[in-house]
Structure formats: structure tokens, C-alpha cells
Amino acid sequence: MILLKKMGSWLGSIAIAFVLVVFLGVFIFQSTKVLGHSMDPTLHDTQKVYVSKLSHTFAQAPDYGDIVIIDSRVDQKRTLMNDLLDSPLLSLFLKADDRHVWIKRVIGKPGDTLEFKNHKVYRNGQVLDEPYVKEQMIFESDKQWVVPEGHIWVMGDNRNNSSDSRVIGFIPLDHVLGKKVF
């Protein structure tokens, strides 16, 4: 009888700890791993990054230059279930595929006009000073993109080897899962 009470106490403590860790990972803070070379030279393949989820939890827009974690499935509405399934702890148990979670840099915010000419990025007619970019960008376009309300535009620092907003378009703010802290 005493053994059963002790086991119940232990199981209760483990359950509470599990729920707390999931809560923290979904709403407050989590670590994630960089997959690929799109953020070279700033971040490297397999590097661990720590992310504040508070901006996602409280629906705060990121700033220019912030490194953000996004859900690249911009054609799908995000739900609380997505947040739970993207939690690192739960994804260990569920063998979830996290290739839709990308790490990119914020280049444009709502209302910004973006252009890509002379191998540079122009925001609202001004060329961006981007010392973090790996090499000169090959991409150019005659098109202008105006970031709609409730969205951002993101790009990788390795512009010639990055799937980003040039491929998937504007990122809804609810698809910004967090900001890199360190």
C-alpha cells in the first residue's frame, strides 16, 4: 500500500513536470536546431538556437533584422494544435516532421515596399545595409512587393541558398513562432 502511494506520488510529480515543460516550450521558450545553410554565415547547419516564444504568445510583431522562427506552411491556418505538435518535447514522442519550421531574418514589415535590383534589397526605396549577408545576392526582379497588414517578409542571410519569402510569399504574423535570443 505504501509502495503504491509512493509510486502515485512519483507519477503525479512526473506528470506535472511534463505538463510544465510542454507549457514552457509552447508559450515561453524553446530550443531548436538550424537545418541547412540558408542562414550562413550568421547561423550554421545543426547549430542549436534558443528562441523566445513570447512574441508569438502575445502576438507581437518582430523588428527589422530580428532572426525569427517561422512556420513556412503559409497556406495553412495555424492553431493551438500546431503549437503543441511543434513543441520539441512532444515532437520527440510523435516523431513530428519539423522541416516546415524555418529560421530567417525579418526584412519587411506591413506597408513596406520591397525591391530586388542591382543585387541588393531595397526597402521603401532605400538600399539596405546588410553586413550579415554571406555574399552578393544573384536574385533580381522588376517586381515590387508591398507587405500586407498582418504579415512580414523574411529572407535567409545566405541569399543565394535560401528558400524564403521570395519562394513562399508573405508570412502571416501568427506563423512567426518566436525570435532567436541566443
**Which portions of the chain are predicted below pLDDT 70?**
56-58, 88-98, 182
**What would you measure as the largest C-alpha separation in the chain, in angstroms?**
77
Q: What is the pLDDT of residue 43?
A: 93
d(CA 182, CA 118): 33
d(CA 139, CA 137): 6
**In terms of DSSP H, where are the helices of 28-162?**
54-57, 80-85, 88-94
Q: What is the pLDDT of residue 100?
A: 83
Q: Structurally, how many domains does the chain consist of?
A: 1
Q: What are phi and psi of 58, to 5 degrees?
A: -105, 15
CA 68, 136, 61 angle in degrees (round to 5)?
20
> pLDDT digits over 53-94, tens only?
877 666 778 999 999 999 999 998 988 777 777 776 555 566
CATH number at residue 34: 2.10.109.10
Length of the chain measured in residues: 182
* Helix or strand (DSSP H, E) at 8: helix 2-27
Structural domain that includes position 113? 2-180
> Which residue type occupies 102?
W
Give catalytic residue positions: 38, 104
